[in-house]
Amino acid sequence: MPELSLELVSFLFAIALLAGMIDTLAGGGGLLTLPALIVSGLPPLSALATNKLQASMGTATATYMMLKHQHVTWQQIRPLMLTAFIGSAIGTLIIQFLDTQFLSWLIPVVLFVIAVYFVLAKAPHEPDRPHKVSDNTYRRFVLPLIGAYDGMFGPGTGSFFSLAGVSLKGQGLLKTTATAKTLNFATNIASLIVFIFAGHIAWLLGAVMMLGQVIGAWLGSHFLFRVNPTHLRYLVALMCLAMLAKTLLS
């Protein structure tokens, strides 16, 4: 646990606020929050755990809004959330047994790859062909695999769920985005539960970042139609790479 200071708390609050806003507008806030926690001096497992705590606030709010406005129904998403939940729990259990020195270089590598993907990948569009996999395959294999990734690392998970919904299930953009938010909530909660029992969460820092997430999400909802999401994706990747460079140099 790093020594608390006004500078550290202010830095993490600001990063979480920006991440909450960016997540609302374009997705990818985890590319900022996880490197920020690592740069702050948290051990790798503690950084992953605390990141899950603050991320759960954003996905919980998004899931509530999706259900409230009936973009998805509980009957539709319940079996999907269950398999994603299980996959995430398994992934989080696996990460507990990896050597922390191994994680110290593995996490920056994974974040670098995801940042590059975030810049190069195109946003999902409306489907122009039927789905490629059956409902059972999608539910039993695709979602648990993405969930396991979220349990082990996390950043970019929402984009992966959206990409899978469009490319494998042939879902429309609104449908796949709404579904992705609920699935991401399930994977965040599963991972968070495991991390709570493992005792890796830095609660005070997580609480500060949760507050930043809420304010950022509120701001993002008010700027939703005024900002170019593509420019935000580039900003996310650039800031992520800058923080990773600082981590590697230190």
Q: Where are the domains of the chain?
A: 6-249
Q: pLDDT tens digits for the chain (250 residues)?
A: 667 788 999 999 999 998 888 877 766 788 889 989 988 989 999 999 999 999 998 888 888 888 888 888 999 999 999 999 999 999 999 999 988 777 777 778 887 887 777 677 666 555 555 677 888 999 999 999 999 999 998 888 888 888 888 888 887 767 787 898 899 999 999 999 999 999 999 999 999 999 998 888 778 767 755 666 667 667 767 777 776 776 676 6
Question: Residue length, the chain?
Answer: 250
Q: How do residues 88-121 score in pLDDT, each as one tens digit? A: 999 999 999 988 777 777 778 887 887 777 677 6
What is the C-alpha separation between 21 and 37, in angstroms, rounded? Answer: 18
Give the span between the Cα atoms of 191 and 194, in whole angstroms.
5
- Tens digit of each residue's pLDDT (9 = 90 or more) over 230-244: 676 677 677 777 767
pLDDT of residue 229: 62
Predicted local distance difference test score (pLDDT) of residue 216: 86
195 phi, psi to nearest 5 deg: -65, -35
pLDDT at 199: 94
Alpha-carbon gap, residue 250 to 244, rounded angstroms: 10
**Long-range pairs for 154-157 at CB < 8 Å and ≥24 separation?**
154/30, 154/34, 154/48, 154/51, 154/52, 154/55, 154/191, 155/28, 155/30, 155/31, 155/34, 155/110, 155/111, 155/114, 156/28, 156/30, 156/31, 156/114, 156/117, 156/118, 157/30, 157/184, 157/187
| The two structure tokens encoding residue 21 | 């806003």
